[in-house]
Structure 1
């Protein structure tokens, strides 16, 4: 377990739960695919990949960096940037969190059915390494530069499995708006403190960003998934197997809204590859309109599940209502709750179970064209937060990380 700091102080959100180690009998890389229950539930081989694999789409992963040498990511990672204060192209990952997220988005496995597959295995990953610390001016500026870099270097989707409180940081707010204005789908995690407080963390809480919570294998809200009126969607975030940066053949498993965020980003890539003429707003509307209602009967939209559980196959189906409707991002009119702007958070213990590879030696509301829905939601949420200082001991949201 690491102390939650990546590189020179980036803290992405920790899951806050210790993961039980995997037995040696299930540790081989050839068994990892079998443990990826999300692929089965989403019928990836029969309902997703015959329709789209994300080809031609670049997804920026703003995180701890991405290890290009992992066997399930070879050829998927393009040179990016490092805004952590170190020089580099984003391909150094000392923590492993960014590598894990990249594998859930665009992992291609290896050999005959071995290793991790992402939901969009033909998408490209643009790694953007950042550092985040409340007392570090370099860190504060890093996210701003990272978002603008991603937009300017062709990312059509930006995955931000990071979070904390930066509501009044006008430069970050302006960077998010810059991305939204440039037709980029922005996706971020709600946070992993749902058992302590009910608020969505930034950057997920910014208007225009898809705020993602996590559900378990039974479709129930994961116990630590943060929630609030900004919640847009939920996606699988428990018992998630992904690549580790400890070795080029390493794997980890864990829980967190980080993983859920990666699955939403991958789905956005699938849609953008299949329907390149759609705007970012229409892509978001597809995911919102096709989300599955919660199994516990919770009303949607709502603060816990947003519009429901991500349903990639449905989101890929023809939808003339969305496709012929407004091209505007339906989340830009969303307000920010007061809860998202209060107080700092403390780091929780994170955990990781590393799966050694065999022979590796270890290691509605917005619905389509629904301006009315947006207005109603804005009334529900309340006014936009005006002034909040950088308060951060930003947390790790990674269930296993590295």
Structure 2
């Protein structure tokens, strides 16, 4: 990682995404995004009024069963970075958030601590809390193999309350391509990572559960135990935060839409594979381009209660396969936004690495 200095600035993905123009239409106001992660630490670059009180679901030590952990703390910096990617004000070396008018609900788990092995089960509890306390979008920039059976019903509960859930595909594309099991839950939007030219990052895990993509190359992240801002690859974690922010922009502009409708227009307007295929396993349906919805009025929201990722009728032709990984033309696909590399999350990411078998997602009906 390198310090966030003028000569090391990452590509300006906000310009590529036409953020300044979009903010004249909508900036995420009225939308709460729950960042279920390592918590949030008040740092330069994130205004306190952008972050709600939130909750900590961290498990207390066995010898200190009454110990409490504040949600506004983050020893790792991962959750703080996701928060900044969505609502940061751009000062002090921080990124400017893609949806600066949104509110973040920090849900702190044990990610980034020696107790990270408990984060999956804690995250399941946090997902339910977010769904019950006003979150419209839940951002999951992590995965857990061992706690999947607890996470799945929690996600489904959130979806039953109309919450839109985004999850990172994982950062093992250059390894054994282990993918985040959470992305196979019907209706969850799995997010892959691309660079500023809309080429998929080698590190981005990929497969049939990839639905959208966003930039995941150099970006501003919290580093050195959450003491400063640095520039490093953002990976699918940062990409997921930008996808969640894209949904917040669209939902802010169309508060009467349902989560299904927001997801549908994001999928319809995504910068698809360059070979013209409907989707591929690297970029999914393509790079998220909320500007097409806000500025070009593109995308048909469709039925409010129909999951846009549900299987097509059996008599419908299957979409053409794609053998080209890249998303649409760079100038357009780069509008997807630039994601950030998923920081080491200890046992939880290690658990993600064990989920190597790709399972075709059974979409929510």
Into which bin does the TM-score normalised by the smaller protein fall?
0.7 to 0.9
Task: Give 3-state SS (helix, strand or coil) of 1:232's partner.
Answer: strand
Task: Give 3-state SS (helix, strand or coil) of 2:158's partner.
Answer: helix
Deviations 1:333-381 (A, max 9, x none): 46xxxxxxxxxxxxxxxxxxxxxxxxxxxxxxxxxxxx43998789x9x
* CA distance in structure 2 between the partners assigned to 1:223 and 1:269 by the alignment: 28
Q: Is there any run of 5+ residues in structure 1 with no aligned partner, and where? A: 1-18, 335-370, 381-391, 398-402
Pick the aligned partner of 2:78 from 97, 111, 114. 97
Alpha carbons 1:193, 1:224 under 8 Å: kept: yes
Task: Give 3-state SS (helix, strand or coil) of 1:197's partner.
Answer: coil
The reply to whether residue 65 of structure 1 matches residue 65 of structure 2 is no
* CA distance in structure 2 between the partners assigned to 1:97 and 1:282 by the alignment: 29
Alpha carbons 2:120, 2:143 under 8 Å: kept: no
In structure 1, the partner of 2:308 is 330
RMSD over aligned CA atoms reads 3.2
In structure 2, the partner of 1:301 is 279
Change over 3 Å in CA distance of 1:137–1:109 after alignment to 2 = closer
* CA distance in structure 1 between the partners assigned to 2:350 and 2:18 by the alignment: 30
Change over 3 Å in CA distance of 1:51–1:36 after alignment to 2 = farther
Pick the aligned partner of 1:395 from 349, 357, 360. 349
* CA distance in structure 2 between the partners assigned to 1:298 and 1:197 by the alignment: 28
* CA distance in structure 1 between the partners assigned to 2:292 and 2:349 by the alignment: 33
More deviation, 156-165/279-288: 156-165
Pick the aligned partner of 2:95 from 113, 116, 119. 116
The reply to whether residue 372 of structure 1 matches residue 298 of structure 2 is no
Change over 3 Å in CA distance of 1:374–1:230 after alignment to 2 = farther
* CA distance in structure 2 between the partners assigned to 1:266 and 1:396 by the alignment: 27
The reply to whether residue 51 of structure 1 matches residue 25 of structure 2 is yes
Shift in Å, 1:272: 1.1
Pick the aligned partner of 1:42 from 17, 23, 33. 17
Pick the aligned partner of 2:170 from 161, 169, 191. 191
Shift in Å, 1:85: 1.6
Shift in Å, 1:313: 0.2
Shift in Å, 1:205: 2.1
Change over 3 Å in CA distance of 1:62–1:247 after alignment to 2 = closer
Change over 3 Å in CA distance of 1:212–1:136 after alignment to 2 = closer
Alpha carbons 2:86, 2:241 under 8 Å: kept: yes
Shift in Å, 1:282: 0.5
Under a length normalisation based on structure 2, what TM-score does the superposition of the two structures give? 0.77
Structural mapping, 1:282-321, within 5 Å:
282-295=261-274, 297=275, 299-317=277-295
Shift in Å, 1:197: 2.6
Alpha carbons 1:59, 1:158 under 8 Å: kept: yes
Task: Give 3-state SS (helix, strand or coil) of 1:217's partner.
Answer: coil
* CA distance in structure 2 between the partners assigned to 1:168 and 1:376 by the alignment: 33
Alpha carbons 1:163, 1:395 under 8 Å: kept: yes
Alpha carbons 1:91, 1:127 under 8 Å: kept: yes
